[in-house]
Structure 1
Amino acid sequence: MKDKYEILNQSVGQGSFGIVRRARHKSSDTACVVKAVKKASAGDQYRANLVDAGLGETLLRMSSEQPHDNIARYFDMLEGPTHFYVVMEELQGPELLQYIEDVFPITEAFVHDIVKQILESLAHLHGVIGLVHRDVKLANFRFRGPVDSSPLVLLDFGLASSASRPWDGAVCGTTMFMSPELVAHLVKAPQMKAMDIWAVGVILFVLLTGDSPFEDADIKAWGQPDTALQQASELVERVLARDELRVASECALALLRKLLVAEPTERLSAEAALRHSWFSTAPASGQERKLPVTREGYRKVRTASRTSEIRKPVL
């Protein structure tokens, strides 16, 4: 590790399994960040996902051969006696929700641009790379650099898995963004990508209203396979009738109805969602109006999305 990289003392983050520090690739003088993951803390499952299942190799190949502006770039994966080392680009911009708090209030036009970039990242991940992210949430999007000239980037691929392999049975991610079929253990390989799409629907609702569409107790109630999808469908109907959504354009609401669909086979794919009229037509009158949402609402959602995690080791 030290032969290839100069590890700087400045920490840029810390998780349950390691510290992220700024670094420099010696031969190319390229700035980067390195996450050192303790093997003793991460356990065998980390190796199984990163090495044995080929996730690390897939992420490196994606970054070098098929990069996308809206997806974080990985440079290297190394293994030492006591740590795994994950090397990736350093994102200089703010987290999405932090930026929203800073520039509050926002408009539907802003939400339109953000959701489009999120869907573009997933269209590439699902359709070109063949991965399912499995932890799509607001906290996993950050701007690459200064927001005015920088794309929004999807990061944290530690739960990602192949879209073509059978579901591994793991109920993982963040509760607020979990789909009904995941909670109910009804995931089928052909529809694994639909879990990410449900999460985009939750994100769209949050951005338009400053509130979560579902309570944790409601989501946990989907744990009964026989009734989960019916319960979720009835709850979605009530959620989509909430007064907070009256400020949104009909096009935005029409897309939301196609994303928050309890039956995974009926959800739009990321590519199909990008062809929706909300993106293909001229902005509707009123999209530049400020959304009547409180800053405190976004702040509560930001806190809730960090405290409802059910995860395994992440990259």
Structure 2
Amino acid sequence: MGCGTSKVLPEPTKDVQLDLVKKVEPFSSTKNDVCKHFITEVEHVGPFKAGFPAASQYAHPSPSAPTSGHTEPPSEPPRRARVAKYRAKFDPRVTAKYDIKALIGRGSFSRVVRVEHRATHQPYAIKMIETKYREGREVCESELRVLRRVRHANIIQLVEVFETQERVYMVMELATGGELFDRIIAKGSFTERDATRVLQMVLDGVRYLHALGITHRDLKPENLLYYHPGTDSKIIITDFGLASARKKGDDCLMKTTCGTPEYIAPEVLVRKPYTNSVDMWALGVIAYILLSGTMPFEDDNRTRLYRQILRGKYSYLGEVDLVLKEFGVVGF
């Protein structure tokens, strides 16, 4: 659901059968691009390591983003114009109850804004999804199926929903601490203690989801938010657009090929029926990233990337290993 420039997908070699992962985008009447409906990396301008996917647009502002109480002399008029533009798109029922403050994210067919409840002055995030597009309806329905069922400290909470013929407005709690992705970029890598704390919170949330028959299917650092900017903040799992929600205790296998390439489990790539264990594979990738600051499977060429995943081909160098390597000490 990100936005950015898509890269051209490589042609699969004749001896390897690879699946392409669909990206949900609104219909466009522009010239045909056979690759535009497939998930690809998103271009990102910033100091992150090559191969990291771009940060997502979910319901939170950057920790350094200005609050409504701060003045922004140079950029205030353009920002006000943008806010006014998106406020005009909102249903009157929404604007009667919530004051639209700022646009804080966007996707192919969605926008996320920071709002304030007019009566209580409590801040929230509203995700506005264009449901006139089939893909938008599918993602919206998937998210609502999950969010209406869950209540857990480590999962984003749905507050209320407004629906119109062409749009759905999902009012959610506002996480202000930024993405786990951003903290990895800032820190380079986590200590084992810090990584364990993060993974424990994510695992608590995933265990809860799996007990309800819900598989996230797109776990990655961009979809894990800090509730507030402090170091003691809890982690919140977000973005259930690709989630599979089944009845509690239903062990039916899933077949849909979906996810973010670097985090996809091998069984999904080869189109084998799979279980909620694909979330655990993604958590393994996240654990690797937390401890090393790099991706276990990384290649600009999609065919080679998928081969790495299918072969389980990766290596890990911890902090001590990197120091030894720098001094030419090998074999430990």
Task: Report the TM-score, using the length of structure 1 for normalisation.
Answer: 0.63
Deviation for aligned residue 1:69: 1.7
Aligned CA distance change for structure 1 residues 214 and 101 (closer, same or farther; 3 Å): closer
Cα distance in 2 between the residues matched to 1:243 and 1:118: 22
Instruction: Confirm whether residue 33 of structure 1 aligns to residue 106 of structure 2.
Output: no
Name the residue aligned to 1:288: none
Q: CA deviation at 1:50?
A: 3.8
**Matches of 1:166 and 1:2 in 2, distance apart?**
42
User: What is the 5 A alignment of 1:237-276?
Assistant: 238-239=313-314, 242=315, 244-245=317-318, 247=320
Distance 1:13 1:116 in 2: 28
Distance 1:80 1:194 in 2: 36
Is structure 2 residue 185 aligned with structure 1 residue 101?
yes
Whichever residue aligns with residue 8 of structure 1, its letter is: I
Give me the whole-angstrom Cα distance separating, in 2, the residues matched to 1:18 and 1:140.
16
Q: Name which of 220, 232, 236 aligns with 1:149.
A: 232
Cα distance in 2, alignment partners of residues 18 and 243 from structure 1: 37
* Shift in alpha-carbon separation, 1:219–1:185, aligned structure 2, 3 A: farther
Q: Which has the higher helix share?
A: 1
Give aligned-pair identity as a percent: 27
Residue pair 2:131, 2:140 contacting (<8 A) in 1 also? no
Q: Displacement of 1:119 after TM fit?
A: 1.1
Query: 1 CA distance for matches of 2:130 and 2:163?
Result: 10
In structure 2, runs of 5+ residues without a counterpart are 1-90, 324-332
Question: Is 1:162 aligned to 2:245, yes or no?
Answer: yes
Which residue of structure 2 aligns with residue 277 of structure 1?
none
* 3-state SS of paired residue (1:136): coil
Alignment of 1:153-232 (within 5 A): 153-163=236-246, 164=250, 166=252, 169-188=255-274, 192-215=275-298, 216-221=302-307, 232=310
Preserved contact between residue 60 and residue 76 of structure 1 (Cα < 8 Å): no
Does residue 61 (structure 1) correspond to residue 149 (structure 2)? The answer is yes
Deviation, 1:165, is 7.1
Q: RMSD in angstroms over aligned alpha carbons?
A: 2.7
Note if 1:18 corresponds to 2:110.
Answer: yes
In the TM superposition, residue 245 of structure 1 has moved relative to its aligned partner by 4.5
Shift of 1:219: 4.5
2: CA distance, partners of 1:88 / 1:112:
27
Summarize the Cα distance change of 1:106–1:205 in structure 2 as closer, same or farther, 3 Å threshold: closer
CA contact (8 A) 2:131 2:168 kept: yes
Q: Which residue of 2 aligns with 1:131?
A: 214
Distance change (3 Å), C-alpha of 1:104 and 1:202:
closer
CA contact (8 A) 1:56 1:77 kept: no
Q: Cα distance, 1:61 vs. partner?
A: 3.2
Q: CA offset at residue 30 of structure 1?
A: 3.4
Tell me how far apart the structure 2 counterparts of residues 206 and 71 of structure 1 sit (CA, whole Å).
21
CA contact (8 A) 1:22 1:31 kept: yes
State the 1:35 CA deviation: 1.3
What code does the residue aligned with 2:149 have? R
Mark the CA change 1:214 to 1:243 in structure 2 (over 3 Å): closer, same or farther: closer
CA offsets per residue over residues 276-309 of structure 1, 9 Å max, x none? xxxxxxxxxxxxxxx97xxxxxxxxxxxxxxxxx
Which consecutive unaligned segments of at least 5 residues does structure 1 have?
223-230, 249-290, 293-315
Question: Contact conserved, 1:183 with 1:219, CA < 8 A, in 2?
Answer: no
Match for residue 155 of structure 2 among 49, 54, 71: 71
For the Cα contact (< 8 Å) 2:161–2:170, is it kept in 1? yes
Task: Count matched residues.
Answer: 225
User: Residue by residue, what CA displacement relative to the aligned partner does 1:223-266 show, whole Å, maximum 9, x if unpaired?
Assistant: xxxxxxxx83xx33x52xx3515859xxxxxxxxxxxxxxxxxx
Aligned 8 A contact 2:101 2:116 in 1: no
User: Which amino acid is 1:61 matched to?
Assistant: R
Inter-partner Cα distance in structure 1 for 2:146 and 2:195: 31
